[in-house]
Amino acid sequence: MKVSARFENYLIEALSQSMPMHVMEKLCARIIPGYDLYRRTGFPATIPIPNIDAARQIVRDIKQLYSLPQFVELLIDVNRNGLMGRQIPIRSLKRIIKEMEALGLLFKEEYGIFVEDPRRGRTRNWGVLREGEIYEFSFLRLDIVGNSELVRRHEKQKVEQAYEDLKRIMERIVIRREGRIWRWEGDGGLATFYFGHKNIQATLAGSEILLEIFMYNLLECGLLEPLRVRMAVHTGPCRYFNSLENLQSDTLRRLERIESNYTLPDSLTLSPGVYTDLGTKLGSFFSAFKETAHKSLYRYKLSWE
């Protein structure tokens, strides 16, 4: 993330004029564990570090670690809620937020974080996830039922059109719920949700996709048979990488097992961790079934009343 000299000066001003050196250090340690200003600046332990020098060092270190959005989020939180029991108004905060917006990031009040401005782009990492860091996600996996048979029984052009239509349906619904498509392989895809009530968003996205495909099969599908899918939602930690080939985690492997081994055609399966977040009203649309003697999964399936 390229930061202008003006933006750096705003950050230095915000720190040096809003709090003493030892408070700056504690603040920075929330992002860089064990942060030690004396070690970073080289000042002897017997000499107080001037505020301006401490602020410059912190801004330099935050920039090098690409943690700028998280640091500005922290400044916003401190401005609102204080730190260590004391109120700390942050100088230049409005100008700092405007500089973040100029970089293409918007502050989401409901989540307390910066995300990329969707008018300027939609990347897999929402503009804020860091390479190699572990995050908690909710994943939605979609697979087309009987892909090989569909390809064999229908004209190539019609199959490709149907699959492209399915991708369009999935992308539109996932993006509307602030998710991202991480992978699309022709016969299925993987969507990821990160903010707020991510398990609910992933579940609602899956339910909407099922309904959209039902209407698509009735009104638009050019195949001689309905396009059918299986979907599953699971939540858990995953290390983020810009390269999809490096995306490996127990959470994704568990998701694949749920979808391929326990999900019926035209249905959506939830893991227990997702289901428990739904609440009574949304959860009532799902039926429990046994995965093992001691573990249940939860299914939503389209059916006629």
Domain of residue 257, CATH code: 3.30.70.1230
Virtual torsion, Cα 254, 257, 262, 268, nearest 10 deg: 60
Per-residue pLDDT, 41: 94
In the structure encoding, which two tokens stand for residue 154, read together? 């229908």
Domains identified in the chain, total number: 2
- Say whether both 139 and 107 belong to one domain: no
Beta carbons within 8 Å of 171's beta carbon, 6+ residues apart: 181
- Say whether both 63 and 19 belong to one domain: yes
Q: Among 81, 116, 151, identify where a domain stops.
A: 116
| Inside any domain, residue 265 | yes
In the structure encoding, which two tokens stand for residue 281, read together? 């009203």
Q: Among 83, 116, 149, identify where a domain stops.
A: 116
Beta carbons within 8 Å of 155's beta carbon, 6+ residues apart: none
Of 52, 47, 49, the closest CA to residue 16 belongs to: 52
| Inside any domain, residue 272 | yes
- Say whether both 141 and 178 belong to one domain: yes
Residue 156 to residues 147, 150, 206, 224, Cα–Cα distance (Å): 12, 9, 27, 13
- Say whether both 35 and 180 belong to one domain: no
| Inside any domain, residue 140 | yes
- At residue 9, the 3 state secondary structure works out as helix
- Residue 243 DSSP one-character state: S
- Say whether both 93 and 161 belong to one domain: no
Per-residue pLDDT, 194: 94
- At residue 187, the 3 state secondary structure works out as coil
| Inside any domain, residue 242 | yes
Backbone angles phi, psi at 295, to 5 degrees: -140, 135
Per-residue pLDDT, 305: 57
Q: Sign of torsion, CA 149 151 152 154?
A: positive
| Inside any domain, residue 193 | yes
Beta carbons within 8 Å of 188's beta carbon, 6+ residues apart: 141, 142, 143, 144, 147, 229
- Say whether both 110 and 142 belong to one domain: no
CA atoms within 13 A on the CB side of 118: 7
Residues facing 140 on adjacent strands: 191, 233
| Inside any domain, residue 49 | yes
Per-residue pLDDT, 81: 92
Q: Which residues of the chain have pLDDT under 50?
A: none
- Say whether both 149 and 242 belong to one domain: yes
- Say whether both 68 and 32 belong to one domain: yes
- Say whether both 98 and 184 belong to one domain: no
- Say whether both 211 and 260 belong to one domain: yes
Instruction: Supply the range of the domain harboring residue 62.
Output: 5-116
| Inside any domain, residue 121 | no
| Inside any domain, residue 128 | no
Rounded CA-CA distance 20/128 in Å is: 29
- Say whether both 37 and 162 belong to one domain: no
- Say whether both 147 and 68 belong to one domain: no
- In this structure, are residues 211 and 124 in contact, taking their beta carbons and an 8 Å threshold? no
